[in-house]
Amino acid sequence: MTESNDPEGEPEGKPEGRPSVGLALGLSLGISLGMMFGLTVFDNLALGMGIGIAVGIPIGIAVDASRDKD
């Protein structure tokens, strides 16, 4: 395990004061919207959740990446 020279113990790559919430937000919105989509279109909750996860992860990663650029 490598140690950082930061006296506060913060990870080196994390921007200060800005938590990374894009992936969690993308998953939560993707799953909930996917559930609604799955029930209305396919009559299958699990299929909708799978679609929501597949869409929510890339969106969440993109949001995190765009926030890290700033």
Q: Is the pTM of this model over 0.75?
A: no
Residue 47 lies in a domain: yes
Residue 17 tokens read as 């004061």
Query: What is the rounded CA–CA span in Å between residue 21 and residue 9?
Result: 20
pLDDT of residue 66: 85
Q: Which residues contact 50 (CB under 8 A, 6 or more apart)?
A: 34
Q: Which domain, by its residues, includes 30?
A: 22-69
Judge contact between 53 and 35, C-beta under 8 A.
Answer: no
Number of domains forming the structure of the chain = 1
Taking only the tens of pLDDT, the chain with its 70 residues reads 555 555 566 556 555 656 778 889 999 999 999 999 999 999 999 999 999 999 999 999 998 888 877 6
Residue 12 lies in a domain: no
pLDDT of residue 70: 62
Residue 32 lies in a domain: yes
